[in-house]
Every structure is written in structure tokens, then in C-alpha cells.
Amino acid sequence: MYLYGAGGHSKVITDILNSLGIQVIRVFDDKPSGAKLENVEIDSGIRIQGGSFPDLDAPLIISVGDNARRAEIASMLKATYGRAIHGTAIISPKASIGAGTVILHGAIVQAAAEIGKHVLINTAASIDHDNIIGDYAHISPHATLCGHVQVGEGTHIGAGAVVIPSIRIGRWCTIGAGAVVIRNIPDFATAVGNPARVIKVKI
């Protein structure tokens, strides 16, 4: 497996892959420090290489925690993407998981959930039945999404947030840590608190 991104998130993904017996072959980064990631060389990314990128002989995971950067990098690359799902995660066989998605330790994804591409389901997050999670979203540690929740592309659900059933959260939103979402949230909104209220909307 190849990784794109050599920050803290790449360490977690490397740990998951190693636990599954998968070797990280090479790591790319837009700001290579010269250091190695667990004895793996870090090479310059596509921006440094002037827009060119080598053909890879194994799948790639974009190991970048920032949703917008993950989306930008994916738009620049032509690659086959792998997945990293820790062995302690509980994934229903009736759920679908998109390419490039990472599911961390102790997370739960229930039946008929649809997880998009390049999504990050973080430590012990709970995704209940019939959820739809858009591409590039991040569901933070211990967040709980009840049944029939929809989360738009690029949205970040903060640590410990709770979303009640049948709520729709728009694209590129930010839901604050510990928020309790009981109403639909529009695109590009930031919502915080219990109950969550929208404090700003990007135009």
C-alpha cells in the first residue's frame, strides 16, 4: 500500500495496515521533511513534482486528516485507492464502504449504511443503519449518528457529537464537538451546542 501524507493521520493508518499484515511501500508528502515514516522513505508529492505522479503498482490511501485537502489531492491524482479498516471495527456485511475510506479502532457501521469515498470514520464512532455519509467527510471519535442520517460531502462531525434519527446535514459543514443535532443543517454551516444551532454559514 502507498500513502499520500506523512502527518499524524498517516501514523494511525500505518498502524492499521500493519495490524492487517499490509506493508506500507512508500509515502508521498507535499512537504517532505527528509525523515522516514516507520523506516519508509517519504517522497515529494504531486505539487513538488510539477503535477506529475508515478504509476503505482499497489493501491493508495490519502492519509491526510483535513477534508478539503483530501478532496483536493484526490482530484489531482489518478490512482487505485485502497481502504484501511481496523480489525476491532464492526462493519455490517450489508454496509457499503467507498474507495480510500479509513475506519479506525472500535468504530461501528451498521446495516444499509453507505459510506462514500475517502471518508474518515474515527475511533469508536457509531454509524447506525441507513446512514449516507458523503465523500471526504470525517466522523470524529465517539460521534454517534442514529438511523437514517445523511451527512454531506466534506462535512466534519466533531468528537462526541450526537445526531438524532433522520437528520440531514449539508455539504462542507462543521458540527462542533459535543453538539446534539436535532434539526437539519444547511450546506456550508457551522453548528455548535446542545441543541446544536447554526452560528455561521459560508457564502
Which of the residues 9, 86, 129, 138 is marked catalytic?
A: 129
CB-CB contact of 97 with 114 (8 Å):
no
Check if 156 is active-site.
no
Question: Strands 189-192 and 197-201: what pairing?
Answer: antiparallel
Contact indicator for 25, 1 with CB cutoff of 8 Å: yes
Per-position b or e across 64-89, b if 16+ CB within 10 A of its CB = bbbbeebbebbeebebebbbbbbeeb
**C-alpha to C-alpha distance for 79 and 153, rounded to whole angstroms:** 20
The whole-angstrom separation of Cα 173 and Cα 60 is 26
Instruction: Look at residue 69 and give its three-state secondary structure.
Output: helix
Active site residues: 129
